[in-house]
Structure 1
Amino acid sequence: MKAINIKIGLTAMLFLTLGACKKSFLDTEAITTVTEENFYRTPKDAFSALVGCYDGLQVVWADGVALPVAAEVLSDNTFGGTGNADGFSYQMLDEFDKTRSPSDQNLFGPNWTSYYKALYRCNMLINKMDQIQWGNDTQLRKTYESEARYLRAYLLFDMVRLWGNIPLLTKPSAENIPQSNPDEVYKVIAEDLLFASANMLPVAYPAQAVADHGRVTKYAAEALLGRVFLFYTGYYTKTDLVGLVTKAKALENLEDVISNGGYGLVADFANLWPAASLAAYAGEDNKETVFAIKYTYTSDYNGNTDGNHWMVFGGIRDQSFFPYGSGWGAETVNPKLWNAYAAGDTRKTGSIISIVDEKLAFVSQSKQREYTGYYIKKYSPMIGEDGKPLPNANGNPNFSIGQFQDYVSIRYADVLLMAAELGSPNAQTYFNQVRQRALQGTFTPLVISQENIMKERRLEFAFEGIRYYDLLRQGITKAAQEIAETTTVLNGGQTAQKVISANNIIATKGLQQIPYTQINLSNGTLKQNPGW
């Protein structure tokens, strides 16, 4: 009897380990032993496998470097930071310079493995659809397949943006295959998202039953397709998405989200983020959430991987001030971003912790590298008024892995600005809506332009893992010019020079290292990206 497993290089895994998530469909019993002969028979089996696909996405950032963290460190929004006595892996990332930490050739190694494990789960379910006895419920099959294909597209999009050249697997396989041309990967992404947007029932995220929060919707597929279109056509200088999606089609999908999705902007920007709003927090799954990755506080060191393991990286190093919890001090905010906000822009204090402006009693900089006086507020670990980390209040003593704030991957504001960028007849209106919410009483009209849209996107989506890819899709030279700088930071309280070279960024084409363990396991079939 053949057990279901995946092999990436020499790494094997049991097919399905299900994690629990708060208030969501991911609360289900774990399946510990399944085989191809006794599984994938009933819709119930399919649903269990689908939960495994969602769980796979949930854990891809549990170890290594999470994409929402990496995309900020790589951009002009933050520096690498971390502890002053730590290694220099985050400086290597920030400065696109492998000489800063030569031993960190596998910085993304855990992520590579986790992405392929998650991809395996999706491929297995997608390829077993004909084996399942659906009866007369053809829509249920379409829904489950759409969700699995969306998740596969999401995973592949992360992977192809991080590494550019990846082995493309669309069926469960242990073969040692070479990297594919990115166009082949984008073709699968586009096909999956087109399938999902055409076959999902038009139920919007805010209207879902609480138990289904976190599940993919038709509108999430349409919105992600818009994001993929803009990145692919920008980064690769193409006019359409691998011949499958035109600009008009991408815009049509986004307009459908706007017209029929039932989404809206939360009135106060700060209320989108727990640490910025406290009691006024709009809550998870609010009307602005198009797609989010769900987390809960039940992570432990015994196999439960349900928490937001990456949020602790941006916390203030070794110090906490209600409501901000402590963390590892990575992603110190570049003062240029703080200064880019207008005085009346509510996103400034809604997004960034300013030690001086908030009069926080910062005791010592001795443990912080690349201190700037600014930290991330949107995804800050939090403490209660009693000084205890919020995971502790829920019975989890492991604050570093017990963070549970969801990652809001796609917000309605992004849909509005993408539609504006793609030339909607309502472009100025959409642009104004985002700015009016941010500027409130200080709002003054600004004529829409590509330059102004990109500036607005930086201010709106800071620390949400979007800025770096917005830069790359403007061209690697433009991105390098925006990111490169020579400035002064404080390392352990001492002044130090910080240098980010445009040439390093251009040499890598903005891509990350293929983990060397994977190159070795492939016996050289995998080739390293230029510049590394």
Structure 2
Amino acid sequence: MKYNSKYNFLFLILLLASCSKDFIDRPSENGPTLDVYYNNAAEVNAATGLLYNTIWFDWQDKAFHAIGEAQGGNMLTPNGDANYGSGVYNNFKVQSSDVLVAASWKSLYKVAGNATVLVKTFEEKASIIGEQPYLTQGIAEARFLRAIAYFYITRTFGDVPIVEDPVALAKSGDYRVPRYIQSDVIQFIINDLKFAEEHLSEVSYQPGRVNKYSASGLMAKAYLYVQDYANARLKAQEVINSGKFALYADYGKMFTSSAANNNSESLFALQWSAAGGYAIGNPIQIYAGPSTLLKPDFDRGYSSVLPTLDIVRAYEDGDKRRGWSIMEHGYSNPDWKNVNFPDGFLYDTTYMDSNDDAKKIKNGSRCNSLKYIVGTGSNGELVNDGFSDICTYILRYSDILLIYAESILGSGNSTTDAQALDAMNQVRARAGLAGVTEITKDNILHERRVEFAFEGDYWYDVQRQGFDRAKVIIAAQERGNYNYDGTVNSIHASIVSPSQLFLPIPLTEVQANPKLNEAAVKYY
């Protein structure tokens, strides 16, 4: 594979050469030629399959939690774990030389670049053989993936480059691409999603693939981000009215078993294969899981990123999502067995000394995230050196319901609209909570926080509140941890500049492209 060192785009057209039906298998490194390939749906589908898996890995691996959760105050990196930037995401001291900044830029632009190359390839093929439904579908699928990549890019970095033709850029040798203002990047995303919505089918042609309503749902989220409440409501309502999605009854299973992959609630998820190992399997369990769970079988489970005291305290009494999302003292799973837990796993924090290392834990939070933890493999899950098959949910139906409720609230302070209440209370009912009778900006943001905790999204919810409100939210959080004796080492973070709502562009990119130091310009 050939990578452009400036923007890290994959410029070869990649193809699944094997006979496997699994669309997330490793691609061949041989680029096909237009005259002999992309002559049927199977060949196009094989090419777009890459966009769901390994090219997301460098972002999914650690940046996913560091950016979306550590910055948002839901997770902390104990003892300044170097894997997560030595704590800089907890205290907003991220530098342009940070490895996760570079990993995010590289990975997300790699997704966008691959998707763009496929769009142009399929368009060129259509110019040769005429428009074909399978080519149009491939273009729509690739444009959806490009849109969601840019959605993460612009929410993470703010004003950013849009690269329309990465192959032409590579051939030119001139990498001086400007940054474009964020509102134009969002419009670029919405244009991609409109095309995807128009040309994708209403039902996924293969489990895990996007469909028309995936595009409608992501459009609703993009509109909400820029406070276009009327269009956010319209698009969310289209997904709801389709009747094709529903809240998955077993919230806990959704995040602890690959058997629940691509369920009724999933509009878009990254697809992983543990059999592929590094960069092909889901790595979250390795870093978020407790060391007592996976060792000694896999020498994995680092507790590198943990729930904050603040998120643990955020759940209402009786909210079942706390137990479904967080391992705390007394949590047990009889199906997770290994040599240390022959009768099943027990989360025990009554740690006394080093003799308790094998079965007990005493980290700074006295808890671990439970989301994306599938256990030891003794319960039928494939666990390969800590990697798993469980998908990473990027857009769920509960998000659509809460977007719909918030879009009805709009810029107002509160609403008692019956449709908004019904949407929000569906989410609360699954969690075992009574319905609310009024929706405010505070309680819907709280609902989003506990519903999507540890899913890499909360920071973007805080960010879109604007600097003044985000500053207050962050300052009120307890980002500390427990000392060994159980007392709290209290830590409060602060943001002092609107620029801290976004990460700096990687230093290496700025050095290669001085235009990234210049003011953003309009794209449209």
Asked whether the two chains share a fold, i.e. TM above 0.5, the reply is: yes
8 Å contact kept, 2:273–2:389: yes
For 1:198, the equivalent position in structure 2 comes to: 198
Distance 1:385 1:53 in 2: 31
Find out whether 1:153 has 2:147 as its counterpart.
Answer: yes
Q: How has the CA–CA distance of structure 1 residues 66 and 486 changed in structure 2, closer, same or farther, with 3 Å as cutoff?
A: closer
**Amino acid aligned to 1:329:** S
**Amino acid aligned to 1:333:** P
TM-score (norm 2): 0.81
**Amino acid aligned to 2:469:** K
Distance 1:54 1:249 in 2: 27
Residues 488-497 or 145-154, more deviating = 488-497
8 Å contact kept, 1:160–1:166: yes
Structure 2 counterparts to residues 303-322 of structure 1, below 5 A: 305-317=279-291, 320=294
For 2:491, the equivalent position in structure 1 comes to: 499
Aligned residue among 243, 252, 271 for 1:270: 252
Q: Deviations over 1:241-262 (max 9, x none)?
A: xxxxxx3333222111111141
Structure 2 counterparts to residues 335-414 of structure 1, below 5 A: 335-355=309-329, 360-362=347-349, 363=351, 371-385=364-378, 391-392=382-383, 396=384, 398-399=385-386, 402-414=387-399
**Amino acid aligned to 2:90:** D
**Cα shift at 1:419:** 0.9
- SS of residue paired to 1:525: helix
Aligned residue among 237, 262, 271 for 1:255: 237
8 Å contact kept, 1:265–1:288: yes
Percent of counterpart pairs with the same letter?
A: 24
For 1:243, the equivalent position in structure 2 comes to: none
**Cα shift at 1:10:** 8.0
8 Å contact kept, 2:268–2:395: yes
Q: How has the CA–CA distance of structure 1 residues 483 and 55 changed in structure 2, closer, same or farther, with 3 Å as cutoff?
A: same
**Amino acid aligned to 1:290:** L
Q: Deviations over 1:199-255 (max 9, x none)?
A: 22211x5xx5xxx1121110110111111111123xxxxxx4xxxxxx333322211
**Amino acid aligned to 1:51:** G
- SS of residue paired to 1:409: strand
Distance 2:54 2:82 in 1: 30
Q: Deviations over 1:103-158 (max 9, x none)?
A: 95333213322222222221112123332148676432332111010000011011
8 Å contact kept, 1:6–1:117: no
Structure 2 counterparts to residues 70-469 of structure 1, below 5 A: 70-81=67-78, 86=82, 89-98=85-94, 105-133=98-126, 138-172=132-166, 173-174=169-170, 175-176=174-175, 177-203=177-203, 205=204, 212-233=206-227, 240=228, 247-274=229-256, 283-300=260-277, 305-317=279-291, 320=294, 327-355=301-329, 360-362=347-349, 363=351, 371-385=364-378, 391-392=382-383, 396=384, 398-399=385-386, 402-423=387-408, 426-439=419-432, 443-469=434-460
- SS of residue paired to 2:495: helix
- SS of residue paired to 1:229: helix
- SS of residue paired to 1:66: helix
Cα RMSD, aligned residues only: 3.7
8 Å contact kept, 1:421–1:453: yes
- SS of residue paired to 2:454: coil
Q: How has the CA–CA distance of structure 1 residues 129 and 458 changed in structure 2, closer, same or farther, with 3 Å as cutoff?
A: same
Distance 1:199 1:479 in 2: 38
Distance 2:44 2:245 in 1: 30
8 Å contact kept, 2:13–2:118: no
Q: How has the CA–CA distance of structure 1 residues 60 and 142 changed in structure 2, closer, same or farther, with 3 Å as cutoff?
A: farther
Distance 1:478 1:323 in 2: 46
For 2:47, the equivalent position in structure 1 comes to: 49
Structure 2: give runs of 5+ residues left out of the alignment.
333-345, 409-416
For 1:237, the equivalent position in structure 2 comes to: none
8 Å contact kept, 1:428–1:447: yes
Count of matched residue positions in the alignment of Structure 1 and Structure 2: 483
8 Å contact kept, 1:71–1:466: yes
Distance 2:429 2:518 in 1: 46
8 Å contact kept, 2:471–2:495: yes
Q: Deviations over 1:313-362 (max 9, x none)?
A: 21124555999995221331122222222222111101111135667334
Q: How has the CA–CA distance of structure 1 residues 86 and 32 changed in structure 2, closer, same or farther, with 3 Å as cutoff?
A: closer
Q: How has the CA–CA distance of structure 1 residues 472 and 433 changed in structure 2, closer, same or farther, with 3 Å as cutoff?
A: same
Distance 1:284 1:91 in 2: 32
8 Å contact kept, 2:11–2:113: no
Distance 2:479 2:64 in 1: 25
Distance 1:490 1:529 in 2: 44
8 Å contact kept, 2:290–2:303: yes
Q: How has the CA–CA distance of structure 1 residues 286 and 171 changed in structure 2, closer, same or farther, with 3 Å as cutoff?
A: same
**Amino acid aligned to 1:148:** A
8 Å contact kept, 2:83–2:304: no
TM-score (norm 1): 0.79
Distance 1:108 1:344 in 2: 38
**Cα shift at 1:450:** 2.9
Residues 426-435 or 507-516, more deviating = 507-516
**Cα shift at 1:311:** 3.8
Distance 1:526 1:231 in 2: 24
Distance 1:222 1:35 in 2: 32
Residues 184-193 or 65-74, more deviating = 65-74
Q: Deviations over 1:497-519 (max 9, x none)?
A: 45343235x35331112221222
Structure 1: give runs of 5+ residues left out of the alignment.
234-239, 241-246, 276-280
Find out whether 1:33 has 2:7 as its counterpart.
Answer: no
**Cα shift at 1:486:** 5.7
